[in-house]
Structure 1
Amino acid sequence: MYYPDHDPRFPVGSGPGQAPAAAPAPAPTWGPASARWTSPLGGRFGAFAIAKIVALLVGYFAALVLALMVVSFFRDGFSATALIILVLLGSSAVMGIGMWAFVVSPLGGRWDLIGWRPPARSMWNLLWQIPAVIVTALIVQILVIAPFASEEPAQGSIEDMLVGTSLPVVAIGVILICGVVPVWEELFFRGVVFGVIRTRLGRWGGAALAGCVFAFVHLVAVGFPYLAVIGVCLCIMAEWYRSVVPGMILHSVNNALVAVTLLTAAGAG
């Protein structure tokens, strides 16, 4: 006997006279890039996540200071460059662990929710955006700092820091500064901090405040204008691209230029 609901032309449960079967929910993906990047980090969840990550980082620095105090009892002196490498390497590891434990894991392992996703626009735009951002930051830095600059700039600090440091150690430091630090800084400052602030202040207010936070935590008072402009522009880029990946590239290029400038100055001195 013929049963219409068993007609092979129709899926099971969706034959003539029956309601069509519900379409299966799409599986989570790493995008799509064209979708609007909306932050899930508002409210208490985002605030507590940032607090936990910062507490974890403070704990690392406290442990590092304690370890250095112990080492100082057994040997005199410690390479400043080696200390910087410990700070950079340890901070990168701690921030990665913190963001996974307190942000990404509770969100189901979705790194795309904090901006690690394919850009929604062509990254060829970086060819003009990178020089435009860096030149703008330099102009602001000059306009703000020039009236207060000393006529006799301090010299010797970079040379003193590099004394007794081998070339491989310097190379490791440069790799960390240019290749590793920009990744976690963009995920944290643009993906997490900017994501949380943006839910309260909107994209422009969030970019301004998150950019200033980015500049402040670097603890370089003389470079605050430059860092603030870079931070704000990176937030705007994250919003424009719906991704932090292009910002990682700009961040890496900027760090590389700073590193080359400092090393060149040290060599000339």
Structure 2
Amino acid sequence: MRRVNENPAARRAIVAAGAAVLLASAAVLYATGHTVVPGSEDYRPGPVWRVWVPVVAAMVAIRLVPWHTPSGPVDERLRGKMRGRWPRLDLFVLVVCLLGFAAADPVLSSVLHMVSPVLTPLSYFLAKVFFLFLVPVMLVGAAGVLRYDTGPDLPRLSLWVSEAWRWGGLAAIAVYALVAVSPWAAQPPMAGTEVPDRFTAVLVITISLLSSPVLEEIFFRGMLQTRLEFVLGRWPGIVTASLAYAVFSLVGGGLPNGLTVALAMTVCVQGVAGVMYGYLWSRYRNMWLNVLLHSFITLLAPVPLSFWG
């Protein structure tokens, strides 16, 4: 029996299933009237379709710049590294880490609440750092326990970027930034409303940047998606990692409109953004680009432009 990444029909089925989940999620939101994205650490409030506009524009730019990518040597380095591992075992460990993250947040919240209610919000950050960074790095990272082969390490491949074409994603980030502040995308809060003082804002932004762009891109793209691509194929890996990113973004949040609406909303927002992040990572293998784009979106959400004036 052929592996999934060697079976075109299986790869197409996975991508089609992901598209069906997105369409079904959008249908649920429009059928129930929940079409406005609530404000969060990553997104400003606004209609769902306005979140999609800059994502689509960025993905077009990712495809166009450059038109031809001399990615053969980079892909071969990546395949060589994955061939020296057991990617399915790595995936099992990463899935267990995700489940541990989901389970640890409420437990830590209860424990910290008993110490002091002020400490309760730290539960999400602590669970995330431990299960989405420390444990994965210790087990499946370049120097982790499950490392059993030599070869080019993924961190070196993704951080030491010397090829000029692998910075082509800067054009996509610029396109996303321009479209995101245009009239066709969700708008920032009105000037003078709900603006935190500068010290509080800097603290919130620092924590947000560490817990969202850095940890999430390293885990979901650098670790999880890379192995899913090797096992399932490129686009099935992107789609599967994006759905996992969407579902586990619900950890630590409430469900004011019920689980069904929450799942539909996260698929339509975080899931769609995850496809963009995944495509960016798959095309350039440049973690700096992923962190930069994710950081821009995170920064754009809580701070109105007037804050910097």
TM range (shorter): 0.5 to 0.7
In structure 2, what residue type is equivalent to 1:35? V
Q: TM-score, normalised by structure 1?
A: 0.60
**Kept after mapping to 2: 8 A contact 1:137/1:230:** no
Which of 142, 154, 159 matches 1:113? 154
In structure 1, what residue type is equivalent to 2:154? L
Q: Which residue does the alignment assign to 2:132?
A: 95
Deviations 1:76-131 (A, max 9, x none): xx45xx64455225522442211222111122698942664323444653442024
- 1:92 is paired with a residue of what secondary structure? helix
Question: How far apart, CA to CA, are the structure 2 residues paired with 1:110 and 1:60?
Answer: 34
Distance 1:218 1:56, change over 3 A: closer
Question: How far apart, CA to CA, are the structure 2 residues paired with 1:95 and 1:239?
Answer: 20
Q: How does 1:119-268 map to 2 (within 5 A)?
A: 119=161, 120-122=163-165, 125-133=168-176, 168-219=199-250, 221-261=264-304
Q: Which residue does the alignment assign to 1:75?
A: none
* Aligned-pair CA distance for 1:179: 4.1
Q: How does 1:26-65 map to 2 (within 5 A)?
A: 34-36=73-75, 37-38=78-79, 40=82, 43-58=87-102, 60-65=104-109
* Aligned-pair CA distance for 1:175: 0.7
Q: Could you say what the CA RMSD is over the residues aligned between the two structures, in angstroms?
A: 3.9
**Kept after mapping to 2: 8 A contact 1:89/1:176:** no
Distance 1:166 1:216, change over 3 A: same
Deviations 1:200-258 (A, max 9, x none): 32111211221222122212553532322221111111111123221011111111111
Distance 1:209 1:94, change over 3 A: closer
In structure 2, what residue type is equivalent to 1:117? L
**Kept after mapping to 2: 8 A contact 1:43/1:196:** yes
- 1:205 is paired with a residue of what secondary structure? helix
**Consecutive unaligned residues in structure 2, runs of 5 or more:** 1-71, 186-192, 251-261
* Aligned-pair CA distance for 1:170: 4.4
The structure showing larger relative contact order (alpha-carbon pairs under 8 Å, at least 6 residues apart) is 2
**Kept after mapping to 1: 8 A contact 2:167/2:289:** no
Question: How far apart, CA to CA, are the structure 1 residues paired with 2:268 and 2:174?
Answer: 17
- 2:274 is paired with a residue of what secondary structure? helix
Question: How far apart, CA to CA, are the structure 1 residues paired with 2:248 and 2:210?
Answer: 20
Question: How far apart, CA to CA, are the structure 2 residues paired with 1:134 and 1:217?
Answer: 26
**Kept after mapping to 1: 8 A contact 2:241/2:274:** yes
Deviations 1:5-61 (A, max 9, x none): xxxxxxxxxxxxxxxxxxxxxxxxxxxx95223362654312222134224424532
**Kept after mapping to 2: 8 A contact 1:198/1:205:** yes
In structure 2, what residue type is equivalent to 1:198? E
Question: How far apart, CA to CA, are the structure 2 residues paired with 1:42 and 1:136?
Answer: 41
Question: How far apart, CA to CA, are the structure 1 residues paired with 2:241 and 2:235?
Answer: 10
251-260 vs 46-55, which deviates more?
46-55
108-117 vs 84-93, which deviates more?
108-117
Question: How far apart, CA to CA, are the structure 1 residues paired with 2:152 and 2:247?
Answer: 26
Deviations 1:106-159 (A, max 9, x none): 2269894266432344465344202444678999x98xxxxxxxxxxxxxxx97
Distance 1:185 1:215, change over 3 A: same
**Number of residue pairs matched by the alignment:** 206
Larger Rg belongs to: 1
